[in-house]
Amino acid sequence: MSISPGGRIVVDGSPVTFEAGDSVAVAILRGGEVPGRGGTLCLAGDCGNCLAQVDGVAYLRTCQTAARPGLRVARHPAGVMPALPVAAVTDLTSTPLPATVALHHLETDVAVIGGGSSGRAAAAEAERTGKSVRVLDAHDGDEVVAIYAGPTIVVRTDHGMLHVHAHEIVVATGAAEIHPVVPGNRLAGIVTARAAEKLRAAGVDMGRLVPVNGDLVRFEGEDGHVRSVVTQDATTGAQTTTPADTVAVGLGLAPRDLLARMADPVPVIVVGDAATDQPLPPPPTEGVICGCMGTTVADLVDAWDRGYTELELLKRSSQACLGPCQGGACLPNVRSWIAAKTGQVPDPFTARPASRQITLAEASAETYVDAFRKTPLHDEHLAAGARMDRFGGWWRPWHYGDAVSEYWAVREGVSIGDVSTLGKLVVSGPDVVELLERLYPCTVSDIKPGRSRYALLLNERGHVMDDGMILRDSEMRFVLSFTSGSAANAEMWIRDWIDVWGLRVHVLDRTMSLAAINVTGPLASALLQRAGLADTPRFLGHVRADVAGVPCHVMRLSFTGEAAFELHHPVDRSIELWRALLALGDDMGVRPHGLQALFGLRLEKGHVIVGMDTELDTTPRRLGMDWAVRMEKPRFIGRASLERTAKLPDDRRWVGFTMPGPAPVEGAPIWAGGEVVGNVTGSWESPLLGRALMLGWLRRTPFPTEVEIDGRAAVVTPTPFYDPEGHRARA
């Protein structure tokens, strides 16, 4: 603890004076109040009886928190756990939460937890052998809260969190004092013997102080504070009532071994009092046994009578030892109580991190959510009012404020979309055709340079892994595209097979080097002509050409159902191209579209989104995409499985549904005959068709033609829902 020379803290709104060296708890006691809401105070960090909210952080041990001027303390409400603080974040998708707690790392040969006599001796011994040593002691500002495999010791310090990576760990945490369990033990004014010594040394006025070392019967009091203590003569049985303002109880010690019990299976050396077996206290018969959770001895009896007759079960059933101190105060009494019942002393339970209540910011110090990539157009989207969301490992525009208008721009005019996230691989080499013929279930050798083909990617079990385009540049060079989240996996997959087959093919992942803009809609060709592309490629063709002065690989395909051209271009030219297209198409009403509109557009066409519509065992047949598989090919990955599963009954189908009214939530169950027969994978209330369109799975045979979704009647409907002949995409 860092020490302040003295001053005032604010406790429940009132100023309280503290002196140099005071903890918050001692300062409050010096002011004539109690830091918690009653119960025995140990002032050693073992119990939960001094927990309070300090500067907005709840569950802090005030006996371990140094007082400093201006500190604001709010005592926890009586009888209940305080609410956890909730961060005021309006949109968790927009901005990652800032990391506010620093994390430091320390490598050392030996870490000694505890700076008492045993700890100092262990440290000195290690230093004598030439080892580097770090002593971690809460009084020096190093509060150990956890030990993890590694091993890593997690330490809270005044300067943030510290992770100590030590080759050896010595636990020298000493012993804790036994807490009394008798009627009246939740009154304020009860302290342990050591706590009384600390208060006396600090000059705190404790009034009439009565020491008690055993033979305790009960505490008596009024207004929540102890007024007398009743003891019993062990020989005669005579009871004596002694008036008191403070009772100091000295009932013995128990190993403070929480961290040692937490460390398993990390090997630690436990020394000193932490390693010394101590006699258990007498079994309690009445009173609150777990101050944190309010568990009484009667609660233990009740749980025992219901059959919870082991320590772990009794703990869970009665909640004893489950509070903030993790049994630091009550475990010896609980073990004693069980021993009296069974005749055997149960071993202490395994402790779990953290031994102290730490904040989420401390727990997550310098850890991060997965890193999500930004396309080069990220700031353009934000400037256009986009609501960004995470999708396939990227930040992507979900919409720009009006997804329906974006939809109509595609269907009736022209729109641009950022598809930079698509996976893009270049493959080249003398064996490249052989490679692709083996990888893909479609034919590849007949794709002419300048042409392309849609393809599924299957695994050995014939299940759909991904889909995309195969574009042929030349005899021995191709460009492959993949879904946004799959480029890295696809690259690994392809490289593995190249190695397995010993083929001569080079692979280069261009996903983050090339951006891509999709220009789509009936006016797309006209816009591209304005941008200098005089001859747009025909459907499934691709060319390399400058568009608005930017070198592009122009690919003619369609996911939206309208004419569409993907312009793949260097990432450092993307903003220039995006702005040029918006400017050139201004009088055409060009506007960007986000994912929400794109998903609706694709749904009208019945296009699959691998990963969203598919499951881990989705086959082309189940998707209704047998047309994408050429079983006459002698060899491709998944072929043997498809041949085998083709002989099995067709028990699952991905189909279209329609119904009047709004679209149901994606994932909605599909009902037929009173049972769930499938689920919706995509839904959209079509502005053009005026009804809810859905794609989803049927998993019951015979496949029903009439179902119920979202409490409404829906019918199975062939896809595509829109332009089934595909005229518009080819226009």
Partner 1 sequence: MPELDRLHGLRVVADPDALDAARWQGGDITVLRLAPDDVFAIAATGVDIDDEHAIVESEPGFAGAWLPVETVAHHLEWPLPTERPALAQGAIAQVPARVWLRDDGDALLITAAAYADELASRFR
Q: Rounded distance, CA 256 to CA 171, Å?
A: 10
Rounded to the nearest 10 degrees, the angle between the axes of helix 487-501 and helix 432-439 is 110
- Asked if 510 is part of the footprint of partner 1 (rule: CB under 8 A), the reply reads yes
Least separation in angstroms between residue 435's CB and partner 1 is 12
Binding mask 571-590 for partner 1 (x = CB under 8 A): xx------------------
Q: For residue 60, report the phi and psi dihedrals to the nearest 5 degrees.
A: -85, 140
- Beta-sheet pairing, 464-474 with 675-685: unpaired
Least separation in angstroms between residue 356's CB and partner 1 is 24
At 585 the three-state DSSP class reads coil
- Which residue among 341, 373, 453, 630 contacts partner 1 (CB under 8 A)? 373
Tell me if 569 sits within 8 A of 551, measured CB to CB.
yes
Edge-to-edge strand ranges of the sheet holding 423-428: 452-458, 464-474, 477-482, 423-428, 506-509
- Asked if 426 is part of the footprint of partner 1 (rule: CB under 8 A), the reply reads yes
- Which residue among 308, 349, 372, 539 contacts partner 1 (CB under 8 A)? 372
Give the dihedral sign, CA 595/599/605/608: positive
- Which residue among 337, 394, 408, 657 contacts partner 1 (CB under 8 A)? 394
Subset of 437-496 contacting partner 1 (CB under 8 A): 476-477
Q: Token pair 């989207």 is at which residue? A: 381
- Which residue among 93, 117, 342, 513 contacts partner 1 (CB under 8 A)? 513
Decide whether 372 or 539 has the Cβ nearer to partner 1.
372
- Asked if 139 is part of the footprint of partner 1 (rule: CB under 8 A), the reply reads no
Decide whether 394 or 440 has the Cβ nearer to partner 1.
394
Q: Rounded distance, CA 425 to CA 723, Å?
A: 31
Among 531, 609, 599, 513, which residue's Cα sits nearest to residue 560?
Answer: 599
Judged by CB under 8 A, which stretch of 74-82, 565-573, 685-693, 712-720 contacts partner 1?
565-573
- Which residue among 72, 167, 208, 506 contacts partner 1 (CB under 8 A)? 506
Least separation in angstroms between residue 503's CB and partner 1 is 12
Q: Rounded distance, CA 520 to CA 562, Å?
A: 6
Least separation in angstroms between residue 572's CB and partner 1 is 4
- Which residue among 278, 428, 443, 489 contacts partner 1 (CB under 8 A)? 428
Decide whether 150 or 673 has the Cβ nearer to partner 1.
150
Q: What is the DSSP string of 360-404?
A: HHHHTTT--PPP-B--TTHHHHHHTTPEEEEETTEEEEEESS-HH
Tell me if 255 sits within 8 A of 196, measured CB to CB.
no
- Which residue among 430, 661, 718, 724 contacts partner 1 (CB under 8 A)? 430
- Asked if 99 is part of the footprint of partner 1 (rule: CB under 8 A), the reply reads yes
- Amino acid at position 45, single letter: G
- Which residue among 507, 692, 693, 698 contacts partner 1 (CB under 8 A)? 507
Decide whether 105 or 208 has the Cβ nearer to partner 1.
105
At 590 the three-state DSSP class reads coil
- Asked if 371 is part of the footprint of partner 1 (rule: CB under 8 A), the reply reads yes
Number of residues that bind partner 1 (CB under 8 A): 31
Judged by CB under 8 A, which stretch of 31-39, 108-116, 207-215, 510-518 contacts partner 1?
510-518
Q: For residue 525, report the phi and psi dihedrals to the nearest 5 degrees.
A: -60, -40
CA angle 696, 699, 701 (to 5 degrees): 125
Decide whether 99 or 631 has the Cβ nearer to partner 1.
99
Decide whether 166 or 564 has the Cβ nearer to partner 1.
166
Distances, alpha carbon 324 to alpha carbons 90, 319, 340, in Å: 30, 11, 26
Decide whether 141 or 570 has the Cβ nearer to partner 1.
570
- Asked if 368 is part of the footprint of partner 1 (rule: CB under 8 A), the reply reads yes
Q: Rounded distance, CA 603 to CA 605, Å?
A: 5
Q: Rounded distance, CA 574 to CA 567, Å?
A: 10
What's 629's DSSP letter? -
Binding mask 292-331 for partner 1 (x = CB under 8 A): ----------------------------------------
Least separation in angstroms between residue 223's CB and partner 1 is 51
- Beta-sheet pairing, 288-290 with 712-717: unpaired
Least separation in angstroms between residue 151's CB and partner 1 is 15
Helix H or strand E segment including 189:
none
Which residues lie near partner 1 (CB under 8 A)?
96, 99, 105, 366-368, 371-376, 378, 394, 426, 428-430, 476-477, 504, 506-508, 510, 512-514, 570-572
